[in-house]
Amino acid sequence: MTATAPIAAVTAPIIALDVMGGDAGLADVMAAAEIASERYPRLTFRLHGPESRIKAELAKNPRLAGTATIVHTDEVVLGTDKPSQALRRGRTSSMGMAIDSVKQGEAHAAVSAGNTGALMAMALFALRTMPGIDRPALAALLPTLKNDSVVLDLGANTECDAENLVQFAVMGAAFARTVLGLERPRVALLNIGEEELKGTDEIRDAAALLRGAVLPMTFEGYVEGDKIGQGNVDVIVTDGFSGNIALKTAEGTGKLVTGLLAKAFESSWLTKLGYLLSRGALRALRAHLDPNAHNGAVFLGLNGLVVKSHGSANILGIANAIGVAHDLIVGNVGDRILQDLANFQAHRPEPVVTDVETGA
Amino acid sequence: MTATAPIAAVTAPIIALDVMGGDAGLADVMAAAEIASERYPRLTFRLHGPESRIKAELAKNPRLAGTATIVHTDEVVLGTDKPSQALRRGRTSSMGMAIDSVKQGEAHAAVSAGNTGALMAMALFALRTMPGIDRPALAALLPTLKNDSVVLDLGANTECDAENLVQFAVMGAAFARTVLGLERPRVALLNIGEEELKGTDEIRDAAALLRGAVLPMTFEGYVEGDKIGQGNVDVIVTDGFSGNIALKTAEGTGKLVTGLLAKAFESSWLTKLGYLLSRGALRALRAHLDPNAHNGAVFLGLNGLVVKSHGSANILGIANAIGVAHDLIVGNVGDRILQDLANFQAHRPEPVVTDVETGA
């Protein structure tokens, strides 16, 4: 509880920023922080990385310069480092020190665009899971025909039991209330059918628990993969394997369709002219689907917040990931999760049958 | 082996067609069979359904009339019937009798647009799995930027062990050789990363077995969800849960993007004009992604072929599903699978470690 306690009192959020991660490089990461400083005047930064290079960039980013503390390190976690290597040697890297800032209560969230596996391993090791959470989950926003939906887990846990899924539902709903501003988010479990008997034991048991739960959400049962893009539920809960498959399949299909579309417009002078006339609207379409607009995967369930910016995100994308961290801090997502978990346990429906059977 | 034996000698393929399944209705199913009769002059049909209605439609479909045998029944499996109900009462339905025609060696494949759960249950019960196959799998073609890819399992088995996945790989490769005409299809396991250590024990063990296997395929390791649409592998192997999630997410994302595109074109008179000019090319795009063009999910691994046409497929879609059945019969997919399994077992790499550990 100690690491979450300072979050409860926050009026001026502090973000520990790893300036070294991702493809964009230090200058772009700091330009993103400058944009975030403009968007959120109360936000301050701890910048983790090489002091001289940070200082040189601060000269170009005046707002950031006014609110930032530099925490020097020359060490970095490489994209090729294994999680185990990062755990052994990474503590004094820019990524490791950003996480440590959260652990020490000097920042409310760490943001990094670096190596995902290393970030998750170091964050879990340093911050530990919240009381009542067995496993953390990776959550992110996905575009739909309507508003964005929260999807979790996106790959932190390949296999999950019913209790894990229920905890993910609680965390995802807290995310949706905090970042999407919803009072009672609609929550569903990803499944291969909508009937009660579909899916695995874990999913059916999680559904039974969520159906009777006292939580600030509306449980909508099951949602199938083809409904993810419809936007009829706000939070989609799944194990990390299926979540990762769904997220990446959606990305890939989006690229496939837009790729075919580009080909279609290239097919004749008539279609090229058609493209020119429609260009503005097509740009808006691309913007709607742009991963940069939905950047910022949150590692939820730890005693402190950690946000992963996509390695290939651009400046605006990184600024959006910082924005997600900002909203989660200000909205006090950690305390919300703790409160909801306590409420859930106090009004827990009935013992889960498969727990008895499998001894899990 | 008895039920597969007649397939080996086929020069004139026979399809048992359930004329009663799906949203399209008897007249459309028979119009589809007429198209297939034109495409494949050697193909003959056994038509399962109400004789008087079939006869009335045969008058409008002269080619089909010349090659069809009517097997009368007034009974149907409803879309709302549970698999257990279909097993109890469905044997004398048009779907059950189509499967029985395959079992009796009177047809090489059954094609139905009816209730998927009922069809799979009745087919498994009547035809049983091939020797060497522990579980059948549902396979279908998916559009990509290049050629179509075969994906399996799409939902027959929610959980699979390494042996199941290897058997799916063998069946999927035989499908690709038969229907896509590839000599050595590139086969990959769907996973959440491309590194050797990613994923579940089942996937890693399956990869170890496939890496050393003597099979008419090239094993490409792992493929992630975002690469499905690229078309760089020909066969994508996964458990039925993830396969169903991936397939439906791809469908849903396709609809999301084309839905947003329609909105984009509606946004001003300029974009509307742009749409008019690009219409032809956009139609080609829609045709490329049209589920009807990829209709026909095959239930592989039984002693006889069963092809499921999508419930909402149109006449051309149903004709395509019949075409898939035709190609699989003529290409002798059953014997190919048996031969490949025998070869695989004869040159089996090394015992699977998890089998020992889990006792599975």
The answer, yes or no, to whether residue B1 has pLDDT greater than 50, is no
Region A108-135: mean pLDDT is: 95
- Residue B229, domain member (yes or no): yes
Q: Are residues A29 and A165 in the same domain?
A: no
- Residue B161, domain member (yes or no): yes
Take residue B243 and report the two structure tokens written for it: 């396969």
Confidence of residue A351 (pLDDT cuts 50, 70, 90): low
The answer, yes or no, to whether residue B243 has pLDDT greater than 70, is yes
Single out the residue in B293, B321, B343 at which a domain terminates.
B293
Distance in angstroms (rounded) separating the CA atoms of residues A122 and A118: 6
Q: Are residues A124 and A227 in the same domain?
A: no
- Per-residue confidence (pLDDT) for residue B3, from 0 to 100: 35
Cβ-based neighbour number of residue B135 at 10 Å: 17
Region A113-122: mean pLDDT is: 94
The answer, yes or no, to whether residue B271 has pLDDT greater than 60, is yes
Q: Are residues B84 and B178 in the same domain?
A: no
The answer, yes or no, to whether residue A91 has pLDDT greater than 80, is yes
Query: What is the number of structural domains in chain B?
Result: 2
Q: Are residues B283 and B246 in the same domain?
A: yes
Q: Are residues B28 and B86 in the same domain?
A: yes
Q: Are residues A170 and A269 in the same domain?
A: yes
The answer, yes or no, to whether residue A358 has pLDDT greater than 90, is no
Confidence of residue A5 (pLDDT cuts 50, 70, 90): very low
- Residue A347, domain member (yes or no): no
Which chain B residues have a beta carbon less than 8 Å from that of A200?
158-159, 241
Q: Which of A144, A158, A225 sits opposite B248 (nearest CB)?
A: A225
The answer, yes or no, to whether residue A360 has pLDDT greater than 90, is no
Share of chain A above pLDDT 90, in %: 71
- Residue A337, domain member (yes or no): no
Chains A–B, number of C-beta pairs less than 8 Å apart:
203
Q: Are residues A149 and A284 in the same domain?
A: yes
Question: What angle (nearest 5°) sits at the alpha carbon of residue B205, between those of residues B203 and B211?
Answer: 100
- Per-residue confidence (pLDDT) for residue B352, from 0 to 100: 53
- Per-residue confidence (pLDDT) for residue B198, from 0 to 100: 85
Q: Are residues B87 and B106 in the same domain?
A: yes
The answer, yes or no, to whether residue A42 has pLDDT greater than 90, is yes
Note the Cα B223 to chain centre separation in Å: 20
Which chain B residues have a beta carbon less than 8 Å from that of A241?
192, 199-200, 242
ipTM of the modeled complex: 0.84
Kindly determine whether residue A271 and residue B278, on different chains, have CB atoms separated by under 8 Å: yes
- Residue B171, domain member (yes or no): yes
Share of chain A above pLDDT 70, in %: 94
The answer, yes or no, to whether residue B189 has pLDDT greater than 90, is yes
Which chain B residues have a beta carbon less than 8 Å from that of A270?
277-278, 280
Which chain A residues have a beta carbon less than 8 Å from that of B242?
241-242, 245
The answer, yes or no, to whether residue B127 has pLDDT greater than 80, is yes
Confidence of residue A349 (pLDDT cuts 50, 70, 90): confident
- Per-residue confidence (pLDDT) for residue A355, from 0 to 100: 47
Note the Cα A217 to chain centre separation in Å: 19
- Residue A339, domain member (yes or no): no
Distance in angstroms (rounded) separating the CA atoms of residues B113 and B23: 8
- Per-residue confidence (pLDDT) for residue B10, from 0 to 100: 67
Note the Cα B124 to chain centre separation in Å: 15
Question: Is A225 at the interface with chain B, CB within 8 A?
Answer: yes
Give whole-number Cα distances, B28 to A241, B52, B298, in Å: 40, 16, 21
Q: Are residues A122 and A28 in the same domain?
A: yes
Touching A: B residues 25-64, CB under 8 Å: none
Q: What is the pLDDT of residues A233-244, one digit of tens each?
A: 999 999 999 999
Region A271-278: mean pLDDT is: 85
User: Can you give the residue range of the structural domain that contains B88?
Assistant: 1-131+301-332
Region A32-61: mean pLDDT is: 96
Q: What is the pLDDT of residues B315-331, one digit of tens each?
A: 999 999 999 999 999 99
Q: Which of A255, A279, A288 sits opposite B260 (nearest CB)?
A: A288
Single out the residue in B293, B320, B354 at which a domain terminates.
B293
Q: What is the pLDDT of residues B33-85, one digit of tens each?
A: 999 999 999 999 999 999 999 999 999 999 999 999 999 999 999 999 999 99
- Per-residue confidence (pLDDT) for residue A347, from 0 to 100: 87
Q: Are residues B12 and B72 in the same domain?
A: yes
- Lowest pLDDT segment from A16-25, A161-170, B116-125: A16-25
Which chain B residues have a beta carbon less than 8 Å from that of A251?
225-226
- Residue A360, domain member (yes or no): no
Q: Which of A259, A280, A288 sits opposite B145 (nearest CB)?
A: A259
Region B345-352: mean pLDDT is: 75
The answer, yes or no, to whether residue B160 has pLDDT greater than 80, is yes
Q: Are residues B239 and B176 in the same domain?
A: yes
Domain CATH for A26:
3.40.718.10
- Lowest pLDDT segment from A271-285, B100-114, B225-239: A271-285
- Per-residue confidence (pLDDT) for residue B122, from 0 to 100: 97
Nearest residue in chain B measured CA to CA from A277 = B274
Touching B: A residues 229-288, CB under 8 Å: 229-230, 238, 240-242, 244-261, 263-265, 267-268, 270-271, 273-282, 284-285, 288
Q: Are residues A253 and A208 in the same domain?
A: yes
- Residue B13, domain member (yes or no): yes
Question: Is B10 at the interface with chain A, CB within 8 A?
Answer: no
Distance in angstroms (rounded) separating the CA atoms of residues A71 and B8: 73
Kindly determine whether residue B284 and residue A267, on different chains, have CB atoms separated by under 8 Å: yes
